[in-house]
Chain A
C-alpha cells in the first residue's frame, strides 16, 4: 500500500545518483520480510516516473530469501513463504535474522553504453 511513497524515495535517490545521465534500469534488492509487493512497486514506478526523465525506465527487483540463525539450537535456517519466524529445526522463535529485510538500490544501468549489460 505504501509502494507509491517508496517509489518517490527511489526516484529521489536515482535522480541524485544519475545526474543528467539517462537511466534504463534501476536494480533493487528486496528482502521477503519487507511488506512490498514487487508488481505493485513496478506499477507505481511507471506512475511516479511518467513525464519525467525516468519515464520508461525499468525496476529490476532481486528478491532475497529470509535466513536466520537460531539462538536456541544454533541451526542456520532458511525460512520460505512465511512471515512467521520460527526455527525449522527446533521451532524456537528466538532467531537472529541474517537476511530478508534488505531494501536497497544497488546499481543503475545507463543508456548509450552500447554494451550488452546482461
Chain B
C-alpha cells in the first residue's frame, strides 16, 4: 500500500451531486463527484461571496512527478527514491552498491542535502553521476525533495547514459513520505540502532516503500535490538514488504540487495 497512490480526494464515495456545494457545512465529507477533482477549477465562481475550488494541494507536485516518471521511462532509467532518517546509512549503502557494479558511471544519483556537498563528493569519488540539490533556501532548508526540485536535478544529468538512478532524499522519516518525486520504486534504509518501534511511530513512511534495507547488522551483538519484534512491527504497517539485512560497513548482505535491484522493474 503505497503512500503515493493517493486517495486525498474523497473518491471512495460516488454521490452524484453537482456543483451546488457552497453550502457544505452539512457534516458530510463525501459529496464531490470524482470528475470534479481533477484539473484547474479556478473558473468555478458560484456566487459573489464564495468560490468553490476543490483542488488537491498535491496536484501540482503529483503532475510534475508524473512528468518526471515519463521522462525517466523514455530514457529507460529505473529510478529509486531512497529514504531514511539521518545517519541510517543511505550514502554508505550507495557507495557499496557503486563499488559492486561493473560500470558505476551508468548509475546516477540525485543527492538531496540541506547544506554541503559532502555526500555528493563521496559518491562522485566512486564513479557515479551526481546531481546535487541543496535545499537550503528561505527559512533554513526544505526537509524533503519534491517533484519540481527533482525535475531540475534531472536537467543536469545525461539520462541516456544511465541505467539506474537513485534519488537520495533528505534524511527525515516524515516529510519525504508525502511527496512523490517521480521514482518507480521507494526503498528505505533503516538502521537497527533506531529501535524496533520506528515502523509504528512513522507508519506513513514505512507504508510507502517497496523494500526496507535493514542496515548496521554488524552491530547486532552489541545492541538490545529485537529483530523479530522489528519485523513484526514493520509487517503490521506494511504487510508483505521485503526486508534485506545488510551491513553497509562490512559489506555483509549486499549481494541480497543487489539481487533485489536486479529484480526491480520500472
Q: What is the interface of chain A, defined by CB distance below 8 A to chain B?
A: 1-2, 4-6, 9-10, 12-14, 16-19, 21, 28-29, 31, 33-35, 47, 62, 64, 83-86, 93-94, 97-99, 101-110, 113, 115, 117-118
Contacts and interface: CB of A to CB of B under 8 A. Distances in A.
Interface string B1-18: 100001111101100000
Interface stretch (B99-107, B140-148, B152-160, B248-256): B140-148
A29 B27 CA distance: 12
B57 A101 contact: no
Contacts of A10: 57
Contacts of B49: 109-110, 113, 115, 117
A15 B11 CA distance: 25
11 contacts: A1-B143, A4-B138, A10-B57, A47-B139, A83-B204, A99-B12, A101-B8, A102-B7, A105-B53, A107-B51, A118-B25
Interface residues of B, number: 50
A13 B55 contact: yes
Interface of B: 1, 6-10, 12-13, 21-22, 24-25, 29-30, 37, 40-42, 48-58, 60-61, 138-139, 142-144, 146, 172, 174-175, 177-179, 200, 203-204, 235-237, 239
B114 to A, nearest CB: 12
Contacts of B41: 17
B57 A9 contact: yes
A53 to B, nearest CB: 15
Contacts of B51: 17-18, 21, 107-108, 110
Contacts of A13: 53, 55, 57, 60
Nearest to A5: B142
Given A13-B57, A104-B54, A113-B49, A85 B237 contact: yes
Contact of A105 (B12, B40, B55, B142): B55
Contacts of B175: 1-2, 35
Contacts of A85: 203, 237
Given A4-B139, A110-B51, A94 B239 contact: yes
Contacts of A105: 53-55, 57
